[in-house]
Chain A
Amino acid sequence: MTSPGLARPAGGSAAGEFTTAEFTTAELTAVRADFPLLTRTLRDGRRLVYLDSGATAQKPQVVIDAELDFYTRTNAAVHRGAHQLAEEATDAFERARHQVAAFVGAHDDEIVWTQSSTAALNLVAYGIGNATAGRGGAAAQRFVLAPGDELVVTVAEHHANLVPWQELAARSGAVLRWVDLDDTGRLRLDQLDDVVTDRTRVVAFTHVSNVTGAITPVAPFVAAARRVGALTVLDASQSVPHLPVDLHRLDVDFAAFTGHKMLGPTGVGALYGRRELLQALPPVTTGGSMVEVVTMESATYAPPPQRFEAGTQMVAQAVALGVAAEYLAELGMDRVAAHDQHLAALLLDAVVDLPGVRVIGPTDMSDRLATVSVDVDGVHAHDVGQMLDAAGVAVRVGHHCAQPLHRRFGVTATTRASASVYTTADDVAAFAEALSGVRRFFGVA
Chain B
Amino acid sequence: MEQLYQQVILDHARHPHGRGPLDPEAEGAATVAAGHGACSARSHQVNPTCGDEVTLEVSLDRTGTTPLVTDVRWEGQGCSISQASVSVLHDLVVGSDLPAVDHVAATFRELLATRGAGLDDEAAEDLLGDANAFTGVGKFPARVKCALLGWVALTDALVRTGVRGEDR
**Residues of A bordering B, CB below 8 Å:** 379-383, 386-387, 390, 397-399, 403, 406, 412-413, 441-443
Contacts and interface: CB of A to CB of B under 8 A. Distances in A.
A386 B78 contact: no
Contacts of A382: 50, 52, 78-79, 81, 143, 146
A397 B52 CA distance: 12
12 contacts: A380-B52, A380-B78, A382-B50, A383-B80, A383-B81, A398-B50, A398-B51, A399-B50, A399-B51, A412-B53, A413-B50, A442-B80
Contacts of B14: 443
Nearest to B3: A390
Contact of B1 (A381, A413, A441): A441
A383 B83 CA distance: 11
Contacts of A442: 5, 10, 80
Smallest CB-CB A-B distances: 4 pairs: A382-B79, A380-B79, A412-B51, A398-B50
Contact of B51 (A386, A387, A413): A413
Contacts of A380: 52, 77-80, 83
A382, A386, A406, A413 interface centre (most CB from chain B within 10 Å): A382
A158 to B, nearest CB: 15
Interface string B75-97: 00111110100000000000000
A412 B140 contact: no
A443 B49 contact: no
Given A399-B51, A413-B52, 18 more contacts: A380-B52, A380-B80, A380-B83, A382-B50, A382-B146, A383-B5, A386-B140, A387-B1, A397-B50, A398-B49, A406-B51, A412-B51, A412-B52, A412-B77, A413-B51, A441-B5, A443-B10, A443-B14
B128 to A, nearest CB: 22
B159 interface: no
A396 to B, nearest CB: 11
Interface of B: 1, 4-5, 10, 14, 49-53, 77-81, 83, 140, 143, 146
A386 B77 CA distance: 17
Given A398-B51, A442-B80, A386 B1 contact: yes
Contacts of A387: 1
A383 B143 CA distance: 10
Contacts of B1: 386-387, 390, 441
A387 B80 CA distance: 12
Contacts of B5: 383, 386, 441-442
Nearest to A386: B4
B145 to A, nearest CB: 10
A399 B51 CA distance: 7
B16 to A, nearest CB: 13
A356 B52 CA distance: 21
Contacts of B50: 381-382, 397-399, 412-413
Nearest to B4: A386
B76 to A, nearest CB: 11
A412 B48 CA distance: 11
B79 A383 contact: yes
A41 B83 CA distance: 32
A232 B5 CA distance: 48
Nearest to B140: A386
A185 B127 CA distance: 49
Contacts of A413: 50-52
Contacts of B53: 412
Contacts of B146: 382
B114 to A, nearest CB: 19
A386 B137 CA distance: 11
Contacts of B77: 380, 412
A130 B23 CA distance: 48
Nearest to A444: B14
